[in-house]
Chain A
Amino acid sequence: MGRPVAIIGVGQTKHGRRTKISYPDLVREAVVRVFEDTGLTPADIDGVVSGTMPSMMEGIALTHFYFADAMQAAGKPILKTETCGSTGISIAHTAYYWIASGMADLILAVGHEKMNEGNSQATMTTVLEPFYQRYFIAGAPGVFSMQSQMWAARYGIPEEKIRDAAAYISVTHHDDAFDNPYAHVKLRVTMDDVKNSRLITYPVRLLDVCPNSDGACAVIFASAEMARKLGRKAAWVKGVGYRGEEYFFGDSDKGVWQSAVQAAKQAYDQAGIRDPRKELDVAEVYNPFTFQEMLFYECFGFCGLGESPDLVLKGVFTRNGELPCDPSGGTLCTNPIGATGLIRTAEAALQVMGRAGDHQIPGAKLALCHAMGGVDQFNGVMILGAEP
C-alpha cells in the first residue's frame, strides 16, 4: 500500500425517479451535500474523479464536460474513470491511488446516472458485440439468470431452496431500505410476493431485480495529514482489489468467479484479513440480483462454495446476523449504475465512521464494499476501517 488514504465525507442524492430535476442538478445535489458534510469548499479540492455508465445511457458523451460546473470542477485537474457497472468502485479506486501516489491531498469523487432518461436494458445490450452475443443476451437479467442456473446445477442446490433464499434476501433488503433516507424502492414484501412476482428471466423475478434509479454520489478522499488536520472522523482505506476476466460469457467459469475471488483476495491481503466472515463487521455487496448476491458471498469467502443459501435462510447476512450485508438495502433497492459502486463505498464509510443513522451496524469497525461490471466480467473491492 502507498501512503494512508481516508474517506472524510459523503454526499448522496435522494435516489429514485427524479423527473423534476435536470441531470446536472442531480449531480450538484450530491456534490453540495459532500461539501456541507465536510465543511470544505471547492477551493480546497486538488482534483476531481468523475464517472458514469456509457454514453448511450443518457445520450451524453464524456459527461465531465457537461457536469464541470455541477461538480465544481472548473479549473481543477480531472480524471474520468469508466468500467461499466463497476464504475463507482473504480472511481473510488482512482481517488485512492491519486492520494496514495502522493500527487494530491484532497480528491472529490463523483459518480452519477440518470437512468430514467434512457433505456438501460437497450444500453446494456450494446455492451455485447454485434456478432455473437448481442443476439441472445438481452440486457442484464439474461446474463445473471444463466449464471445462477450454472451455479445451482454445479452444487446440486435444490431449486426450492435457492428460490427461498433469494426471496429472503429480497424481503430483508426491501425492509432495510426503509431505514435508509436515500434509498429508492421502499416496499414491504413477503416471501410469497417475491416468489409470485412477474417472471423476468427464469429464475429471476421482478422483486429479485434492482430498479432503474436516478442518483449521484460524491465522496471526498484525503491524505492522512489532511484528515488529521481537518480533525474529522474518517474511514481508512485498508485494501483495494480489482480483477476482470473474459469478455465472451462462455469463456469463464461464472460459478467460481475468479474475478470476484481474486479481487477480494487482493484487498484482503492488503488489509490483512484471513477470515472475512469473522473479521468484517459489515459488507456492502453490489447486488442488482438476489441470486447473484449469494454467489458473491461465496466468492468473497463469507462461506464455502454452494453453502450460501443455507446460511442466508439462517439469517447470517441480515442486519442482526453474523455478517450484515447491504444494511442500506443495497443495489437491489437503489441502482443509479455509475453512482452505485461509489454509494457502496459511501455506505461502508458511513458504517465504520458510525454515521449510518437508522441502518447503522453497532460498533462496525471493518467494512467491505464492492461493485461488478462488464459482461459479468469485472469485480472491484475496497476494504474500509475505522482505524488508520
Chain B
Amino acid sequence: MTRRVGIVSVAQGAGAESKDNFYDQAYRITKEVLEKAGITRDDLGTIVTASSDIFHGGISCANSYYWETTGAFLKNASRQDGESLFAFFYAVMRILSGQFDTALVMALCKGSENPPNDTCTLMFADPFYQRPVGLQETLAAALQMRLYLERYGITEEQCAQVAVKNLENALGNPYAHRKGRYTVEEILGSERLADPLTALQVAPKSEGMVAVLLASEEKARALTDKPVWFKGYGSSLDHFYLGDRDLLKGPLRDAAARAYRMAGIADPQKEIDLAEITEPYAFQELLWCEDLGLCGEGEGGKLIASGRTRRNGDLPVNPSGGVLANNPYVSRGLQRLVEAVLQIRGEAGERQVPKEVKTALAHGTHGFAGQCHAVAIVGIG
C-alpha cells in the first residue's frame, strides 16, 4: 500500500432493546463519531454503510430508509449487505483510491424490531433442498460443533468455558446485551436448542448502531493524536452446500492468510496482541482461533483451558464479551473492530486488558457454519 488509512474515531450504541426508533439511534451514533473527530457532515467525504434488508424491520432497500440519518444527503455513499467488515474494507478502498480524505463506516441493525435470528437465517437456505428441512444458522452450527467435538476430541465443557469467559467479560462492557457470571454447568444446563448447542452458547439478538470514521494518513494525523492504522484485510467465501464443504477447514484460513500477508504478519501468535472474534456459537471461538493461527489445529480446547485467552491472559480473545454478549447480526463485525480500536487506544474502560496492545485483529463471519469470513488487522506504529 502506498497510502495509509487511519481510524480517527469510533462510536457504538447499546445492544439491549432501546425505546428509541431506528432513525434516532442511527443519527445519535453518526453525530457522536463525527463530533469525536471534531468534524461536521459537510467535511465528510464518503459513507459506506452495512445493513441487511431482511433483518431490518420489514423494509426493503434498507439504505434508502436511513440515508439521511447517516449523513449521506447528497454525498457519494454506498452500502454492503451481510457483513459490516465488508463496508469497512470498501471505505478503506475508497480512501486509498485517492478520491476521498474521510470516510464514515456505519453498521445499522435494530435487533429488537427483527424476527428471531434463525427466522432470518432460514432465508439463506435454498428454497428447494435446504429450506424444506428447516436448515438455518443454529442447526448448521450444531452440525459443525458435533464434527468439531468428534474429530479433535474437544469437550462440551471446553466449549462452555468460552461462554463463561465471554459473558463474564461482558460485565465490564456497558454496551453488552447479555452478561453474567455463569458456571460451566449452568451453561451446559441451559435449554438445549440444537444438540449439542445449549441456549447460553448461542448469541442473542441485539441492537447495534456502530460507526467508525476513517481518514487518509495526513487527514488522520490532523484529526487525532491517536490514529489507529489499517494494516490488513482479507475475506473469503466457501461453497454453498454443507455437504460440499469440510466444515472444520473453512475459508477463514484463506481470509486470515490474506490479511496477515497484507499486514506483514508472519507469526500471528506472537504478533497479534488481542483478537475480537465473531463467535455466535461458543465453540466457534475455538475453531476460529485455530483457523486464525492463534493456536494449532485441534488445539482450541487446550487454548481455552490454558486461560491464555482470558481478559488478563497473554492472548486476550473477546474481552468485550464478543458476540455471545452482543449480537447485532450485520453490525457485529464492525463492532469487533471498534472494540479492537478501543483496546489499542487504551480507551476500553473496565474491559481494558492489562497488557499493551499494538496490533489487534477483528473478525466477522456470517452464513451457515461460517460460509463467509472477513478479517481486519489494525494497529499503531
Across the interface, do B96 and A374 meet the contact criterion of CB distance under 8 Å?
A: no
Per-residue contact bits, chain A 249-264, to B (CB 8 Å; 1 contact, 0 not):
0000000001100110
Q: Say if the beta carbon of A245 comes within 8 Å of chain B.
A: yes
A164 within 8 Å of B (CB atoms): no
Instruction: Decide if B139 is an interface residue (CB 8 Å cutoff).
Output: no
Option from A64, A82, A377 in Cβ contact (under 8 Å) with B237: A64
Q: Mark A38-59, 1 if CB is under 8 A from B, else 0.
A: 0000000000100101111101
Q: B68: which A residues are within 8 A, CB to CB?
A: 246-247
Contacts of B288 in A (CB 8 A): none
Q: Assess whether A77 is in contact with B81, with CB atoms less than 8 Å apart.
A: no
Known A62-B367, A101-B94; judge A1-B99 contact (CB<8 A). Answer: yes
* Most chain A CB neighbours (cut-off 10 Å) among B1, B54, B66, B79: B79
Q: What residues on B are CB-neighbors of A242 within 8 Å? A: 76-78
* Cβ–Cβ < 8 Å partners of A73 in chain B: 237
Check B368 against A65 for contact (C-beta < 8 Å). Answer: yes
Is there a chain A Cβ closer than 8 Å to B65's Cβ? yes
A58 — nearest CB in chain B belongs to which residue? Answer: B127
Contact assessment for B77 and A54 in the assembled complex, using a CB-CB cutoff below 8 Å = no
A83 to chain B minimum Cβ distance, whole angstroms, is: 5
Q: Are A244 and B74 in contact (CB under 8 A)?
A: yes
**Are the CB atoms of B80 and A54 closer together than 8 Å?**
no
Given contacts A244-B75, A259-B74, A266-B76, are A74 and B97 in contact (CB under 8 A)? Answer: no
A367 to chain B, nearest CB (A): 21
A378 within 8 A of B: yes
Q: Which of A78, A94, A374 contacts B235 (CB 8 A)?
A: A78
**Minimal Cβ-Cβ distance residue in A for B238:** A74
Contact call A97/B124, Cβ cutoff below 8 A: no
User: Cα distance A245–B120 when bound, in Å?
Assistant: 29
CB neighbours of A98 from chain B (8 A) = 93
Contact (Cβ within 8 A) A69 B52: no
Residues of the A chain whose Cβ atoms lie less than 8 Å from the Cβ of B94: 97, 101
Pair A100/B59 contact, Cβ less than 8 Å? no
* Least Cβ–Cβ distance between A194 and chain B, in angstroms: 30
Question: Could you tell me which residues of chain A, from 1 to 43, have a CB within 8 Å of some CB in chain B?
Answer: 1-2, 24
When A60-B123, A68-B371 are in contact, do A77 and B78 touch as well, CB less than 8 Å? no
Q: Which of A51, A53, A68 contacts B238 (CB 8 A)?
A: A68
Residues of A within 8 A of B1 (CB): 102
| Alpha-carbon separation in the docked complex, A127 to B124 (Å) | 20
Known: A81-B78, A126-B59. A101 touches B92 (CB 8 A): yes
Q: How far is the CA of A116 from the CA of B281 in the complex (A)?
A: 37
Q: Which of B83-91, B158-166, B183-191, B202-210 contacts A (4 or more CB under 8 A)?
A: B83-91
Q: Which residue of A lies closest to B251 (CB)?
A: A75
> How many angstroms from the CA of A143 to the CA of B368 in the assembled complex?
38
Q: Least Cβ distance of B275 to chain A in Å?
A: 20
> In the complex, which residues of chain B have a beta carbon less than 8 angstroms from the beta carbon of A85?
61
User: With the chains together, A68 CA to B366 CA distance in Å?
Assistant: 14
**Closest CB in chain B relative to A214 CB, distance in Å:** 15
B58 CB contact (under 8 Å) in A82, A97, A126, A244 = A126
A93 near B65 with CB under 8 A, answer no
A103 touching B76 in the complex, CB below 8 Å, given contacts A56-B53, A65-B372: no
A59 to B54: give the CA distance in the assembly, Å: 10
B239 contacts A54, CB within 8 Å? Answer: no
> Which B residues lie within 8 Å of A128 (CB)?
59
B98 engages A1 (CB within 8 Å): yes
In the bound complex, how far is the Cα of B124 from the Cα of A66, in angstroms?
A: 7
Shortest CB-to-CB span from A378 to chain B, Å, is 7
Q: Does A172 contact B (CB under 8 A)?
A: no
Once the chains bind, are A61 and B67 in contact (CB under 8 Å)?
A: no
Chain A residues, Cβ within 8 Å of B126: 24, 60, 66
Q: Is the CB of B120 within 8 A of A61?
A: yes
A327 CB to nearest chain B CB (Å): 28
Collect the chain A residues with CB atoms within 8 Å of residue B234's CB.
77
| Nearest CB in chain B to that of A77: its residue | B235
| A93 CB contact (under 8 Å) in B58, B66, B78, B82 | B78
Find residues 330-388 in chain A having any chain B CB closer than 8 Å to their own CB.
373-375, 377-378
Interface flags, B202-238, vs A, CB<8A=1, else 0: 0000000000000000000000000000000011111
Contact check, B258 vs A77: say whether CB atoms are below 8 A apart. Answer: yes
- Would A124 and B60 be within 8 Å (CB), given that A54-B53, A77-B234 are in contact? yes
Nearest CB of chain A from residue B178's CB, rounded to whole Å = 24
Cα-based distance from A80 to B87 in the complex (angstroms) = 9
Nearest CB in chain A to that of B63: its residue: A83
Q: Contact: B83 with A80, CB < 8 Å?
A: yes
User: Is the CB–CB distance between A84 and B123 below 8 Å?
Assistant: no
Residue in B closest to A241 when the chains form the complex, CB atoms: B76
Q: Does A274 sit at the interface, judged by CB under 8 A? A: no
Contacts of A64 in B (CB 8 A): 82, 237, 372
Given contacts A74-B239, A97-B97, A244-B73, whether A90 and B64 have CB atoms under 8 Å apart is no
Contact A97/B90 with A127-B60, A244-B73, A246-B68 known, Cβ cut-off 8 Å: yes
Taking CB atoms, residues of chain A closer than 8 Å to B92 are 101
Chain B residues with CB below 8 A from A244, complex form: 63, 67, 72-75, 77
B223-266 vs A, CB cutoff 8 Å, 1 = contact: the mask equals: 00000000000111111100010000001001100100000000
B60 contacts A54, CB within 8 Å? Answer: yes
Contact of A126 among B60, B127, B258, B368 (CB under 8 A): B60
What is the minimal beta-carbon distance from A151 to any residue of chain B, in angstroms? 20
B306 within 8 A of A: no
B258→A79 contact, CB < 8 A: no
Q: How far is the CA of A176 from the CA of B126 in the complex (A)?
A: 37
Tell me, in angstroms, the Cα distance from A193 to B238 when the chains sit together: 51
Whether A90 contacts B81 by the Cβ 8 Å rule is: no
Chain B residue with the shortest CB-CB distance to A55: B54
CB nearest neighbor in B for A98 = B93
Q: Which one of A24, A68, A77, A84 contacts B63 once the chains associate, using CB atoms below 8 Å?
A: A84
**6 sample A-B contacts, Cβ–Cβ < 8 Å, listed by A number:** A55-B60, A60-B123, A61-B124, A69-B244, A101-B94, A258-B74
Beyond A53-B61, A55-B123, A127-B59: 19 further Cβ-contacts under 8 Å?
A2-B96, A54-B62, A55-B60, A57-B60, A60-B126, A64-B372, A74-B239, A79-B80, A79-B89, A82-B53, A82-B81, A83-B78, A85-B61, A90-B79, A101-B96, A242-B78, A244-B74, A245-B73, A373-B64
**Chain A contact residues, CB within 8 Å of chain B:** 1-2, 24, 48, 51, 53-57, 59-62, 64-69, 73-85, 90, 93-94, 97-98, 100-103, 123-124, 126-130, 241-247, 258-259, 262-263, 266, 373-375, 377-378
